[in-house]
């Protein structure tokens, strides 16, 4: 199965909002509400910040929000903070071989 | 506190078999619905889901490598083992151990830090 497509990098100033896109197909992102987003700071384990398109795990800031339209999911970070500088990648369940597919990751830079 | 930690060789030779161990704590792989598995990321490329093993010994494999992969578990040791045969340069990647909290969840709620495996002669 093909990987999901994400922009390589996104940047913004503190306080701004940024959006990261994640484009798949009708067999993954578009077919199910099982999109998840992960944050990874250098040298640390990835952490889930959004699951099932728009749900946030306990303890995750409400500055992170998720949505989906058609075959494209989006992660929005509002009120950008220095601590948000990290890599973000999306994932989706797919019924092709009952597997998961992921994006290549987006590096977020806080200017 | 839930943690997962990967261990294994950092360098393997072409054609060799890679064996990685995930040692976890804070939960049990005998709890109904729980799964532990592996995801890898080649340098500069997308993550690739490899395999999962569930509390009831059910194994699931990603389509591209299923003929080369074996996943197993030792519940008493809180370990999950992944073997990947016939390693080649394209298998150079960071390998992550992950937990799927329940088969009703379609995401991975805990990840290890990952271990970089390089294939080189």
DSSP character string of A37-72: EEEE-TTS--EEEEBTTTB--TT--TTEEEEEETTE
Q: Is the pLDDT reported for residue A70 higher than 80?
A: yes
Q: Is the pLDDT reported for residue A1 higher than 60?
A: no
- Does the distance separating the beta carbons of A105 and B108 come in below 8 Å? no
- Does the distance separating the beta carbons of A91 and B107 come in below 8 Å? yes
Q: Which of residues 20-39 of A touch B (CB under 8 A)?
A: 32, 34, 36, 38
Give the residue-averaged pLDDT of B20-30.
96
Any B CB within 8 A of A52 CB? yes
Q: Which of B16, B3, B98, B90 is nearest to B49 (CA)?
A: B98
- Does the distance separating the beta carbons of A45 and B111 come in below 8 Å? yes
Kindly state the DSSP code that residue A33 receives in the 8-state scheme: S
Cβ atoms of residues B73 and B53 within 8 Å = yes
SS3 B17: coil
Q: Which residues of A touch B107 (CB under 8 A)?
A: 34, 36, 48, 51-52, 91
Q: What is the pLDDT of residue A98?
A: 67
- Does the distance separating the beta carbons of A52 and B106 come in below 8 Å? yes
In angstroms, the CA B4 to CA A42 distance is: 17
Render pLDDT for A7-23 as a digit per residue (tens, 0 to 9). 999 999 999 999 999 99
Rounded to whole angstroms, what are the CA distances from B10 to B54, B59, B77, B118, B120?
27, 26, 23, 6, 10
C-alpha neighbours within 13 Å on the C-beta side of residue A28: 26
Kindly state the DSSP code that residue B42 receives in the 8-state scheme: -
Tell me whether residue B94 is exposed, middle or buried, using C-beta atoms within 10 angstroms of its C-beta: 0 to 12, 13 to 18, 19 or more. middle
Q: What is the pLDDT of residue A42?
A: 87
Name the percent of chain B lying above pLDDT 90.
88
Any B CB within 8 A of A100 CB? yes
What does chain A come to in residues?
111
Q: Which of A93, A109, A107 is nearest to A28 (CA)?
A: A93
Render pLDDT for B36-80 as a digit per residue (tens, 0 to 9). 999 999 988 888 999 999 999 999 999 888 899 999 999 999 999
Cβ atoms of residues A84 and B25 within 8 Å = no
Q: Which of A33, A4, A6 is nearest to A21 (CA)?
A: A6
Any B CB within 8 A of A1 CB? yes
Pick from A66-75, B57-66, B107-116: least confident: B57-66
- Residue of B46, B106, B114 lying closest to A104 (CB–CB): B46
Q: What is the pLDDT of residue B45?
A: 85
SS3 B77: helix
Confidence of residue A44 (pLDDT cuts 50, 70, 90): confident
C-alpha neighbours within 13 Å on the C-beta side of residue B14: 5
Any A CB within 8 A of B4 CB? yes
- Does the distance separating the beta carbons of A100 and B49 come in below 8 Å? yes
């Amino acid at each position: 199965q093909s990987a999901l497509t994400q922009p390589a990098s996104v940047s913004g100033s503190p306080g701004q909002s940024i959006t990261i896109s994640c484009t798949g197909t009708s067999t993954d992102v578009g077919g199910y509400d099982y999109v998840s987003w992960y944050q990874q700071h250098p040298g640390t384990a990835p952490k889930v910040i959004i699951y099932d398109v728009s749900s946030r795990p306990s303890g995750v800031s409400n500055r992170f929000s998720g949505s989906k339209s058609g075959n494209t999911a989006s992660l929005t970070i509002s009120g950008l903070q220095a601590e948000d500088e990290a890599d973000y990648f999306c994932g989706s369940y797919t019924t092709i071989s009952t597997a998961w597919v992921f994006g290549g990751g987006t590096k977020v830079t806080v200017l | 506190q839930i943690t997962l930690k990967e261990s294994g060789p950092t360098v393997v030779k072409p054609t060799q078999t890679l064996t990685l161990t995930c040692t976890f704590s804070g939960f049990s792989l005998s709890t109904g619905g729980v799964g532990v598995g592996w995801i890898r990321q080649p340098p500069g490329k997308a993550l690739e889901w490899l395999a999962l093993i569930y509390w009831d010994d059910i194994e699931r494999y990603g389509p591209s490598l299923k003929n080369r992969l074996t996943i197993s578990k030792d519940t008493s040791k809180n370990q999950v083992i992944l073997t990947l045969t016939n390693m080649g340069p394209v298998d150079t990647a960071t390998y992550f151990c992950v937990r799927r909290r329940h088969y009703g969840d379609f995401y991975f709620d805990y990840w290890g830090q990952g271990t970089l495996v390089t294939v080189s002669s």
